[in-house]
Structure 1
Amino acid sequence: MAAIETGLRQAEALNSKMNDLRERLEKHINLKHYTDNHKNVSPKGNAKLMRICLIAGLSDNEKRNKEVLNIQMSSNSIHPTLFTVHNLNGMLSSMIKLRYHDLEINWEDNITKSKVVNAEIFRGFDMLMKGDTLHEWLKVSTTASIKAGQIPLLNLNIGNYDGDISAYLDMNSKNVTNTQILIAGSTGSGKSNLLAVLMNEMRSLSVESNYPVNFLFFDYKGEFSDIANNDWLQHFEVNRSSILDPMVEPLPFTPFKDFVGKTQNEINLYSTELANALLAIDSAKISANMSNRLSEAIINAYKDTKGKSIDFTTIIENYTDLQPQNERERMDSVKSVLSQLERANLFLNDDRIDLIGNSFIVKMDKFPKEGPIGKAIVYFIVSKLNSIYENLPVQANDKEKVELRHFTIIDEAHYMLGFDNKPLRDLIAVGRNKGMSIILATQNMDAYKSKHFDFYANAQYPLIMKQQSINDAVLKDMYGVSGTDLVEIKQAIAGLQKGELIIKNNEAIILGFGKKFKKIMVRHLI
């Protein structure tokens, strides 16, 4: 039986009805008052609410008629997880067609099919909003509760190999050594669609479990945060509240570490790391005295705050105090970098969001990619994520799978790989024991050949798309090939079309024969 879920659109009134149901749910599941340490629970996303309504609607055996299909449709799509979660597609498709078997319905027409599904959701909504019906529908069995608590298997379906064989990336089984993904693809290669597919898969497979995988995406091109592409967001189970635009208002957290209760030595080490980073971000050429002065200024700034988070203004003030009297009015290289960051007003001085408990898209297209402001945004957010991960418990695991909490996704990552980016290295090194992963996307594979860190050795999945130039040394490192094998891989990359990529064929590499790569056609999403 053909699947119902593909290509469905939302009715115009659907979101407002789901918001009404969410409010009723919140009143049902929350107490009237909580202590200061507890917050109200609010169901996230609409897919789960739609599914509850759909199932409730299909339980009604009242005879259907075509009048229920007089529904105004919007251009927004219904997320496929409405059907695919818990393998409900077959059952729900059968029930829908059973309820409408007396009517002549063209199941090949997406608009008609969408109206049928929306009509059943509306039917269920009307039922659940009456009397105590919602309370009855929220009762779950012990077996169902146990299943919902399991760690989801994150086997990402990204497209097809030759012969229409589904291509998967196993992200969290015990067989996988790490979870890093590297993408190299020039303009027009289909890189943005691949990133969208990866985010769509990780969210679809996990968002309704007790172990949702959240993400933070640096949107350098501004495509994903563009209001014209607003319908993209539903693929990732987020809305526009997830978009952070530092050009409009400061990012709602402090980028600096809190050292209250920590040792002075920890502050000293951090001050040196931060000083080096601030100078590397702007490629500033400075003397050893200026570098040492900046590090000492950071230490003194923490003395001023008694270990609490500092800010750029406090660093500038302490740096100026350490300058010789006759130089304090002069704008040197260090103060130039700090002043740019201070004027940009990028961050608040306290934390107002949960960076890993939710998903966010950082709008980066208004900042020059190679400039200090753009680099600072990425650097400090990655540094902040490291601080959060340091305090997290070890990830959960069962006999077959481990928990993944969060993906950091950096498009145009080559701008962050040209200096000794310790937070980025640390984020990768933290790895599976804290349930994090990272996706780095660049235009060319050469960017990963860094003297500071071996990104290829730490990547489970290097995904190579269409390239402007092909680096023999990188391919030799990645595939361990030479001679005819190297020529074959180069020819395969040169022949890639938009939306195609090659991936390592680990079986062939281990066995020592066969093609060392496989070609994948990425499924189209955006």
Structure 2
Amino acid sequence: MADRLYTSSDADEVLSALRFETKLEKATLARIAFTLSLVKEGAGVAPSTSFSGGEMKRPTFIGEDEAFIRSLIVYIYGRRDFSEDAFFSNRSVIKNHIDSGAALMARMFQESGRSGEALIRRLVDEVEFSGRREQLGSGLDIFIGRTLLQRKDLIMELNNTAVHANSHLAIMGMPGVGKTQFLLKLLTDIRVQSNYQTNFIYFDYKGDVVDNARFLELARVQPFRLLQGGQSLPVNPFILPAYDEQTINVSAREKAESFASINSKLGVVQKGALTEAIRAAYAKRAATATPYPDFPDVLELAALAYEADGKKDDSLIEVLRDLSDFELFWRHGSEGAPIDRVSNRTLLIDLHAMPVLKELVAYLVIERLYKEMATLPDSPVTEGRRTIRTILVIDEAHNYLSQRNIFLERIIREGRSKGVVVFFASQSPNDYQQKFFNFQELLEFAYIFKCDGVAAGSVQGILGCSAKTAKDLQTEIARLEPWQVIARSQEKTEEFVKFTAEAFFKSYA
């Protein structure tokens, strides 16, 4: 019976580095790596052929948990038992999973901004999410504030399908009236009440959220500060579910349409050039282990095509050069692999330092989220409560709603059954009156803070009230005090309710 094994040199290097970063013992980290790989790789883990790393003694690793560890392995592998050498030795499943899990942890460490504390939070989220992956619906009943006169508590039943057609939400108001604090309170409540099962992707346009350390801590958010300190998103917009010719062609055309919808300078010729450059970039990577291109690939091939045709650089080359030079997204040669899914992560994407491309970055992430959403099974519903998987949060949405985003529209239309929800924060109800898409009719929850110049038709569309009531509310909305909100009434006998919103800093002082 072997009483020790030797990890690979790569695994030993990872465990030693993480010991310094996390203050956990190497044996503890090895057990975490083993468990992570057992869950992620299962019986398909690759055999490890390197034995030049650190020594791992059987009593140190196994301790008093041999029966438990054997049971885990037997269950995962679907076998009745393992020999001693197959269980713990240099040729064992435990060694294979330690080495494999160390590589997974190294990648997670990179994705967590090389922070030991963030890595541990990430590991906790992984365990909670996998263990509660499709937890049968718990209620998300959020305290939002008290009515002005009666001081009655108001509760938002976010995922109650018996009451609400969907869970899409909008918060509207001028700067400084409390809408961001209200939004942070809602998001933190949702994270806590769902035991961190419900995730969100937050586009921070102003940069006033990313520095709220209390919110990041309580909501367990991973921030990405673009164009600050060389930080980029570990997301590759070119990853596809399959890499056959048809899937690549469709994706290339969709990306060209996406670019053109954001940048009015891109016409038919530029869209065609971009489509061809993306196709060529996939062809360039087709025979590699990572069959997806990055923006430097696309820029290189687009520039070569322009040179061959004797064309001068134009707005398309300019956009591609910015995307490449700013290193906003994962690129080949980056440390660590791109994250496999965005729909099971809680991310805060800080865009405020970007002089251009804010909407395009958001567009590409939204496209990725939609394509992941489309592959998901329907979200479970139990006792009228639908499990919400993730929330897409778009701050300063008035800068974005006028852009034709087909993937955002599809998420709003199709997200209900998948448990994917959209939260908007903008400056006025007027922002949701778009000719190409009726956002108003698909917003189940709408909260209006103080706004100037609100059209009566917008108020009527948002609240679902009568034309007379909407006209009367125009003046009242302009005179609201900070934290005062007008919303749809939960009572059938009333067209609206006026209340004082609860703030994040009050709830989580």
When normalised by structure 2's length, the TM-score is 0.68
2:172: which partner in 1? 184
2:345: which partner in 1? 358
Displacement, 1:430? Answer: 2.8
Provide the secondary structure at the position in 1 that maps to 2:377: coil
Displacement, 1:156? Answer: 1.2
For residues 276 and 341 of structure 2, the distance between their equivalents in structure 1, rounded to whole angstroms, comes to 31
Instruction: Confirm whether residue 298 of structure 1 aligns to residue 278 of structure 2.
Output: yes
For residues 300 and 285 of structure 1, the distance between their equivalents in structure 2, rounded to whole angstroms, comes to 20
Q: Paired residue for 1:274, among 239, 255, 268? A: 255
Give the 3 Å change call, closer, same or farther, for CA 420–28 of structure 1 in structure 2. closer
For residues 36 and 177 of structure 2, the distance between their equivalents in structure 1, rounded to whole angstroms, comes to 52
Instruction: Confirm whether residue 38 of structure 1 aligns to residue 39 of structure 2.
Output: yes
2:154: which partner in 1? 167
Q: What residue ranges of structure 2 are gaps of 5+ in the alignment?
A: 1-21, 42-130, 332-336
Instruction: Confirm whether residue 445 of structure 1 aligns to residue 432 of structure 2.
Output: no
Q: Paired residue for 1:233, among 199, 213, 216? A: 216
| Number of aligned residues | 383
Displacement, 1:442? Answer: 0.8
- Aligned runs of 1:188-337 on 2, under 5 Å? 188-207=176-195, 212-226=197-211, 229-236=212-219, 238=220, 242-247=222-227, 248=229, 249-258=231-240, 260-262=242-244, 264-286=245-267, 288-306=268-286, 308-323=291-306, 325=308, 327-328=310-311, 330-337=312-319
Q: Paired residue for 1:345, among 327, 334, 339? A: 327
1:469: which partner in 2? 453
1:381: which partner in 2? 365
Give the 3 Å change call, closer, same or farther, for CA 322–32 of structure 1 in structure 2. closer
2:77: which partner in 1? none
1:186–1:466: 8 Å Cα contact kept in structure 2? yes
Q: Paired residue for 1:404, among 371, 376, 388? A: 388
For residues 406 and 305 of structure 1, the distance between their equivalents in structure 2, rounded to whole angstroms, comes to 32
For residues 238 and 34 of structure 2, the distance between their equivalents in structure 1, rounded to whole angstroms, comes to 34
For residues 515 and 467 of structure 1, the distance between their equivalents in structure 2, rounded to whole angstroms, comes to 22
1:434: which partner in 2? 418
1:418–1:450: 8 Å Cα contact kept in structure 2? yes
Displacement, 1:285? Answer: 4.6
Could you tell me the percent identity over the aligned residues? 23
Displacement, 1:388? Answer: 2.1
Displacement, 1:213? Answer: 1.0
Give the 3 Å change call, closer, same or farther, for CA 194–32 of structure 1 in structure 2. closer
Displacement, 1:27? Answer: 4.9
For residues 491 and 442 of structure 2, the distance between their equivalents in structure 1, rounded to whole angstroms, comes to 18
Provide the secondary structure at the position in 2 that maps to 1:327: coil
2:456–2:467: 8 Å Cα contact kept in structure 1? no
1:489–1:517: 8 Å Cα contact kept in structure 2? no
Instruction: Confirm whether residue 156 of structure 1 aligns to residue 157 of structure 2.
Output: no
2:306–2:313: 8 Å Cα contact kept in structure 1? no
Higher mean C-alpha deviation, range 309-318 or range 159-168: 309-318
The one-letter code of the counterpart of 1:182 is A
For residues 28 and 362 of structure 1, the distance between their equivalents in structure 2, rounded to whole angstroms, comes to 30
Higher mean C-alpha deviation, range 253-262 or range 177-186: 253-262
For residues 362 and 326 of structure 1, the distance between their equivalents in structure 2, rounded to whole angstroms, comes to 38
Give the 3 Å change call, closer, same or farther, for CA 408–480 of structure 1 in structure 2. closer
For residues 22 and 385 of structure 1, the distance between their equivalents in structure 2, rounded to whole angstroms, comes to 35
2:206–2:351: 8 Å Cα contact kept in structure 1? yes
Provide the secondary structure at the position in 2 that maps to 1:496: coil
1:219–1:361: 8 Å Cα contact kept in structure 2? yes
Displacement, 1:413? Answer: 1.2
Displacement, 1:504? Answer: 1.5
Higher mean C-alpha deviation, range 470-479 or range 182-191: 470-479
Higher mean C-alpha deviation, range 497-506 or range 300-309: 300-309
Provide the secondary structure at the position in 1 that maps to 2:137: coil
1:11-63 Cα deviation digits (max 9, x unpaired)? xxxxxxxxxx9969x959957835845369xxxxxxxxxxxxxxxxxxxxxxx
Higher mean C-alpha deviation, range 442-451 or range 469-478: 469-478
For residues 28 and 305 of structure 2, the distance between their equivalents in structure 1, rounded to whole angstroms, comes to 57
1:259–1:267: 8 Å Cα contact kept in structure 2? no
For residues 385 and 500 of structure 1, the distance between their equivalents in structure 2, rounded to whole angstroms, comes to 34
1:218–1:363: 8 Å Cα contact kept in structure 2? yes
When normalised by structure 1's length, the TM-score is 0.66
1:99: which partner in 2? none
The one-letter code of the counterpart of 2:154 is A
1:466–1:501: 8 Å Cα contact kept in structure 2? yes
Displacement, 1:354? Answer: 4.6
RMSD: 3.1
For residues 213 and 307 of structure 2, the distance between their equivalents in structure 1, rounded to whole angstroms, comes to 54
- Aligned runs of 1:50-129 on 2, under 5 Å? none
For residues 444 and 142 of structure 2, the distance between their equivalents in structure 1, rounded to whole angstroms, comes to 13
Provide the secondary structure at the position in 2 that maps to 1:33: helix
For residues 331 and 168 of structure 1, the distance between their equivalents in structure 2, rounded to whole angstroms, comes to 55
Displacement, 1:323? Answer: 3.6
1:302–1:308: 8 Å Cα contact kept in structure 2? yes
Displacement, 1:324? Answer: 6.8
The one-letter code of the counterpart of 1:253 is V
